[in-house]
Every structure is written in structure tokens, then in C-alpha cells.
Amino acid sequence: MPQVRIIAKNFMDMVASLPAMKLDRLYENAFICEAILRSLPPLAKKYVLQLLYIDAPVTASSLQEWVLVDGASKHRVAVDRLIQLRIFTETVDRKKEASYKLNMMFQMNLRKHIVHGGVLPREPMNANIAVRLPSLEELDIYASQQWECFLLHLINSAEVEVTTKSISPSMMKVFQRGLLSQRDNEGSRLTESGFQFLLMDTNAQLWYIVREYISNSEDRGVDSADLISFLLELSFHVTGEAYNMNTLTDIQRTTVKDLADLGLIKLQQGRKDSWFIPTKLATNLSISLSDASSRKQGYVVVETNFRLYAYSTSKLHCEILRLFARVEYQLPNLIVGSITKENLYKAFSNGITADQIISFLQQNAHPRVAERVPSVPENVTDQVRLWESDLNRVEMTPAHFFDDFPSRDVFEAACDFAREYSSLLWEDSKKMRLIVKTEIYAHMKEFLSHQK
């Protein structure tokens, strides 16, 4: 089974990995230039701004002159990133001196922005629509409901009665790939990464899903560059304003429908027109994931006796808690459970780590306990870690085994060599056999071939 690694990367890594042709085309859209500039490390932003009105290539050494010794690594990261995104084109002349030049299209779009100021991607519709627009709070509630519904749908389509009418089964398959493993006889089970996925915060989850959506777009006959540019453009819309559907292309219209299922957008139908309203999920898309302002309020209280109270009405929260705790009562607004050894063992065997559980409990701590330090009692966190280490009594180290040494001298030399790298795991001087870590296998081989 192909291992899907869930890393909370951001949108721009995906953009950077696009082929050159597509990347150049993306820069024709001014909003993408803006979004990409904002995603850069500060030093890179500064370089772009500095070179914005310079048409001739600038030598690398003159750029380096601005940097103090401490900042050399930051400088390298910034320049690498700029080259990787094809914002800088690097040319090396005969004297082997590199010089950089800004991407023409990118430069032009930014110049325009700086002179004319920001422009909105689309004019919002007039306020005189017959239907009342949802308030910002209503929109937030809608977005989180829709997202939870989607997650529930995603993890156990068998147990929960199907409330979402719309997400197409083929679409669902795409999202479930990697998170669920399908077995014919026993239905679907969450995979290791599926469990980890549930414990991530909403932004990271959203990003994972959007990434799957984009990488799958080619199969649906949608160009991934078009899709990325539309998604980025969407993040520049104003939350809570209504935008007419007529302004979208056909492909964008189908995309908007998919995004509405995820809670990124709310669709509304008037008498004549229909329009879409971006929610906070959509406008946060291009912002880096570490943005703490989007953190939701917590709901979990853990006591020193391992009991767990979750003030929540959400089914999803209950399902998540079930991953590592025994749910005892379910009241209308309260879930009572306890963290037990058996449940934790089950969680560990599913691939969830103790650290993930603890950080989940800490991140979602109820505001009353969140002020306390530590927010989760120490004896509970310690015990969770201890139970995990119970299961890992045997430590595995990939290793290589050597025997049949031609002489004792060679054997001794080999042992010393391995010791020097502190990679000698075991030796048997009588039978002249030794085991070393895999990392130094190549060095070891080279060393032995010189000995002969």
C-alpha cells in the first residue's frame, strides 16, 4: 500500500513543485503574484521589493553585501526559494559570477499593484438582493458544520446516517484514499495516517484535503494550474460578501459546488441569480498554516483521575475521543469518558502516538483549564507516555552483519573504525563477527576494501 505521509505543508510548496511552464502561466494572474509574495520568507520579500524597479540583472555578491554574517543561512534560504518559485532567474557569466533577475511577468504585476493599490478580484453584488445575507457568525457556524459533516462522512460512512446529500462518491473516494484502507469483507478501516489526520487542527486538515483535490484534478479534466489560481483568487475575496455566479467560468462553477460541500463557500439561490459567499475557510487558504488567530475554542477537561469531560454537542468530537478513550455517557451537551490502558493500546496499535494524543488534549483544552499550567494534569500525560513506552520495549535498529574476517588485525581495525563512528552494536571477538548500524555500511565497505 502506498504510504501517504501527512505533512502540514502550505499552498506554496505545492505551487513551487509545479512544472516551469505552468508556473510561468500562473504569474499572469496578479492575485497569484500577490499571494506568492506574501508567502515568502521576509528576507525574500525584501529582495523582491528591492529589485522591483531594477531592470538589469543584479549580481549575487551585491545582494549578499546587505547581509550580516549571522544571516547568511537565511539569505541562502530566501534566494533558493525565489529561484525555486522561478521569481528569480539565475544566470552565471564567464567569471562564474551569478546574477539574478526578476521574472518579467511577476515584476510587472507587482509594479501595477504598487502604483494602483489593491484591487478586488470581483465586485460583490449589490446589497439589494431580496434574500438576507447570513451574518459573519452564521457563516462561521455554517462552515464548521459543513466541515464536520464532511469529516464524519469521511471517516465512517457506515455508522453515521448519511446527512450530506451531495458529495459525490467518486470525490469521496479521492479524499479517502490514504486515510482509509478498503477491505472487501470487513468494510473500511482508518489507516495510521487517517487517525493522525483526525487529530490535526482544521487548517491542516483543510490543506490536506485541498491538496488531494488539486492533485486529483487532472483526472477530472481540470488543469491543476487553473484550479490553483482559482483557489488563490478565492482567498482574496471578502468573507461574507455575495458574488454572482455569472462571473465564473463553467469549470469554476463545478469547483465552487465541490467547495460548497466542504464548507469553503455557501451557495444561495435568488429569484433570478444565484451567488456564492466565501467563508473564513476559503479566505484563510493562502495564509500560512501556523496562523494562531484561527484557533477554535477548546472543550476538553481532563482530571487527574483520568476522567475526561468534553463539553460538546458534536458527533465528530465524540468519534475523535473514541479513538483513545472509553466514552461512558453521552449527554446532550457533554461527553464523559475515561482514558484507559486498553483504549490507549488500541490507539497505539492504530498508529497514533502518545505525543499526538497529548497535544490534542492540550490544544483543545476547555478555556477554564487552558489557563492552568499544565492544562492537562502531569500524571495523566506521564502515564500516557509510559503506556506507550510499555509497547516499545524492543528497540529496532537497522543493522548489517559482518563475518569471515581474513585476520584478527582486520577484525580489530574494523571494530575500532565502527567504534569511532559510535555505530558498533555488537561484537564477538572469538568468532570474529560484528554488527554495525546501517548508516555506516557504505563507509565500512570502503574501509574493508582498503584493508585487503
CB of 243 vs other proteins, minimal distance in Å: 15
Cα end-to-end span (Å), the chain: 43
Query: How far from 136 is each of 140, 145, 150, 320, CA to CA, in Å?
Result: 6, 14, 21, 27
What's CA 208's distance to the chain center, in Å? 5
CB of 118 vs other proteins, minimal distance in Å: 4
Q: Applying CB under 8 A, does 136 fall inside the site for other proteins? A: no
Measured at the CA of 148, the angle between CA 187 and CA 121, to 5 degrees, comes to: 125
Which of the residues 270 through 299 are near other proteins (CB under 8 A)? 287-293
Binding mask 45-84 for other proteins (x = CB under 8 A): xx--xx-xx-----------xxxx-xx--xx-x--xx--x
Q: Applying CB under 8 A, does 416 fall inside the site for other proteins? A: no
CB of 18 vs other proteins, minimal distance in Å: 12
Q: Which residues contact 52 (CB under 8 A, 6 or more apart)?
A: 102, 107, 110, 111, 114
Instruction: Write the Ramachandran bin of 187: left for phi over 0, alpha for psi from -120 to 50, otherwise beta.
Output: left
Q: Which amino acid is at 57?
A: P
Q: 84 vs 314, which CB is nearer to other proteins?
A: 84
Size of the site for other proteins (CB under 8 A): 43
Which of 15, 37, 222, 301: binder of other proteins (CB under 8 A)? Answer: 37
Query: How far from 298 is each of 23, 187, 216, 312, CA to CA, in Å?
Result: 40, 33, 34, 9
Output the CA torsion sign for 198, 199, 202, 203.
negative
Q: 56 vs 115, which CB is nearer to other proteins?
A: 115
Q: 189 vs 295, which CB is nearer to other proteins?
A: 295
Q: Applying CB under 8 A, does 19 fall inside the site for other proteins? A: no
Q: Applying CB under 8 A, does 110 fall inside the site for other proteins? A: yes
Q: Applying CB under 8 A, does 118 fall inside the site for other proteins? A: yes
CB of 37 vs other proteins, minimal distance in Å: 7
Q: What backbone phi and psi angles, to 5 degrees, belong to 451?
A: -65, -30
Which of the residues 370 through 409 are near other proteins (CB under 8 A)? none
Q: Which residues pair with 98 in a beta bridge?
A: 92
Stretch that binds other proteins, among 8-16, 55-63, 128-136, 153-161 (CB under 8 A): 8-16
Residue 135 cell numbers, joined = 451574518
Which residues contribute to the site for other proteins (CB under 8 A)?
Answer: 10, 13, 16-17, 34, 37-38, 41-43, 45-46, 49-50, 52-53, 65-68, 70-71, 74-75, 77, 80-81, 84, 110, 113-115, 117-120, 287-293
